[in-house]
Amino acid sequence: MDLDIPPGFEFGVATSSWQIEGDVAGRGRCNWDDFAQIPGAIIGGATGEPACDHVHRLEEDLDLLAWLGVDAYRFSISWARVMPQGSGDLSASGLDFYDRLIDGLLERGIKPVATLFHWDLPSPLEVAGGWPNRDTAYLFADYAQAMGERYAGKVDRWATLNEPWCSAFLGYCAGYFAPGRKEPGASLAAAYHLILAHGLAIERLRAAGARNLGIVLNVIPVIAETPSMDAAARHVDGTQNRLFLDLLAGRGIPADVRESCASVTDWAFVRDADNPVLSAPIDWIGENYYTVMRVAEPQAGATATAAIAQDSADIPACPPLRFAPRPPFTEMGWEILPEGIEMALRKITDHLPGVPLWICENGAAVQEVIDDSGIHDPMRIEYFEGHFRAVMRAAERGFDVRGYYAWSLMDNLEWASGWTKQFGIVHVDPATGTRTPKDSAAWYRDFLAARP
Ligand code: IFM
């Protein structure tokens, strides 16, 4: 590919703990282990064991990363692996695993980028109320401090949270994700406490000497398909994007969101004194970009589309509407629109001007052909090419975008979809754990090697 890549631009791949690690016996239980026990919650009844058995295949996976030639690897730390009860004692074996992961990356010249929370909450904390409970935010800060004290100086960049929208609204409003609660008011409290947890953690990480501190959101451009849907689209944008961005920017809950969600919450959990914590200065912000949301006139009986996580049930106090993604689609039913990356970056920089940007996830679940000659995923390569171009165009137009991480290093447990949707550039056989690089992995490797 002929691309004008800014100097120092970082390329990597990303994964998350519950999706790949396995070795459930080696850690405390988490909300996703409990959710997976609910019949029908996860397609095919998949559980966190063995996932990709990453804990036992660590050396092989580190070698895969080195083979790819990535600059950085974004992984998440399982809170329940290092602190099995979610508070109190640390686990020596849990820490040993992350020591080996981080040291193994550094030995191979790959920058470790750690996310502290990618949706897997220790079970005791979920039982105590989960994210709608303010106490969870303080326990998260204690956990963050412990990680900062151990890994400052080794981890190159830290993200407090990954996509708090999903934890809050898919988890507590739609009940589609763990813990499966369908309580719109509680979901707004969860969103607020997640950002509080983030701010508290930033302060503790910085005090522990950790550097390059940020958060990863999934800002999704929201498009009203007709002028009649402007107000509905504003509500979707408010709960999906501006709620998080305004809290981080120190502006509190957006006035229109306060009003449009008044039917489901009295906002009693909001405290004005929290503002400086919620907006603790960050060094960077990550965007996980996959698609856009198109808001169209409702049709009788049609609230959900085939697009996963585009459903009015995900949105607290959602007005009548229909999501209407346009083809081409990925296997998630998500519209493919590379230009949406720039729309998302614009929204972020409008709220948080001057904060450097990273694309922390981007990728696609697509049809693949497996035959004797390999695993062929031309649509994924085409997806990456289109999105690489869009990122570089955004950089040329002045966005301070500094890196791109492909989702994902390997096929893994796609949450409620189980093993039915695959984003990996490396194939993982769920029965044997065997890793086989797909055509897209070879393509990425060649791309990275050919950089000037
Ligand atoms: O697999 C997820 C990941 O955990 C978070 N971002 C979106 C990906 C694809 O759905």
Q: Report helix angle 340-351 to 378-396, nearest 10.
A: 40
227-253 burial: b if 16+ Cβ within 10 Å, else e: eebeebbbbbbbbbbbbbbbbbbeebb
| Angle of CA points 129, 131, 134, to nearest 5° | 85
List the catalytic residues: 163, 361
CB 361 less than 6 A from any atom of ligand 1 = yes
Q: How far apart are CA 347 and CA 381, in angstroms?
A: 27
How far is the centre of ligand 1, averaged over its atoms, from the C-alpha of 166 (Å)?
9
How far is the centre of ligand 1, averaged over its atoms, from the C-alpha of 175 (Å)?
17
CB 288 less than 6 A from any atom of ligand 1 = yes
CB neighbours of residue 292 within 10 Å? 21
pTM tops 0.95: yes
Mutate to test the pocket of ligand 1, among 163, 308, 360, 383 (most ligand atoms within 8 A of CB): 163
How far is the centre of ligand 1, averaged over its atoms, from the C-alpha of 232 (Å)?
25
Q: What sign has the CA pseudo-torsion 98, 163, 22, 73? A: negative
Q: How far apart are CA 219 and CA 312, in angstroms?
A: 17
Ligand 1 atom 2, closest CA: 414
* Cis peptide bond prior to 17, omega within 30° of 0: no
Closest ligand 1 atom to 308 CA: 10
391-422 burial: b if 16+ Cβ within 10 Å, else e: bbbbbeeebbbbbbbbbbbbbbbbbbbbbebb
Mutate to test the pocket of ligand 1, among 13, 15, 16, 310 (most ligand atoms within 8 A of CB): 16
pLDDT in tens, the chain (452 residues): 889 999 999 999 999 999 999 999 999 999 999 999 999 999 999 999 999 999 999 999 999 999 999 999 999 999 999 999 999 999 999 999 999 999 999 999 999 999 999 999 999 999 999 999 999 999 999 999 999 999 999 999 999 999 999 999 999 999 999 999 999 999 999 999 999 999 999 999 999 999 999 999 999 999 999 999 999 999 999 999 999 999 999 999 999 999 999 999 999 999 999 999 999 999 999 999 999 999 999 987 665 568 999 999 999 999 999 999 999 999 999 999 999 999 999 999 999 999 999 999 999 999 999 999 999 999 999 999 999 999 999 999 999 999 999 999 999 999 999 999 999 999 999 999 999 999 999 999 999 999 98
Closest CA to 72 of 352, 286, 296: 286
Closest ligand 1 atom to 19 CA: 4
Q: How far apart are CA 15 and CA 223, in angstroms?
A: 29
Q: How far apart are CA 42 and CA 180, in angstroms?
A: 11
CB 163 less than 6 A from any atom of ligand 1 = yes
How far is the centre of ligand 1, averaged over its atoms, from the C-alpha of 118 (Å)?
9
Q: For residue 426, give the DSSP letter.
A: E
Closest ligand 1 atom to 332 CA: 10
Closest ligand 1 atom to 16 CA: 4
CB 414 less than 6 A from any atom of ligand 1 = yes
Q: How far apart are CA 111 and CA 146, in angstroms?
A: 20
Mutate to test the pocket of ligand 1, among 17, 361, 410, 413 (most ligand atoms within 8 A of CB): 361
- Percentage of residues in the chain having pLDDT higher than 70: 99
How far is the centre of ligand 1, averaged over its atoms, from the C-alpha of 266 (Å)?
31
pLDDT digits (tens, 9 = 90+) for 400-409: 999 999 999 9
Ligand 1 atom 10, closest CA: 414
Q: How do strand 72-76 and strand 10-14 relate by DSSP bridges?
A: parallel
Homologous superfamily of 10-361+390-422 in CATH? Glycosidases (3.20.20.80)
Q: How far apart are CA 119 and CA 288, in angstroms?
A: 15
DSSP string for 337-390: -TTHHHHHHHHHHHHSTT--EEEEE-------EEETTEEE-HHHHHHHHHHHHH
CB 16 less than 6 A from any atom of ligand 1 = yes
Closest ligand 1 atom to 361 CA: 6
Mutate to test the pocket of ligand 1, among 407, 411, 412, 417 (most ligand atoms within 8 A of CB): 407
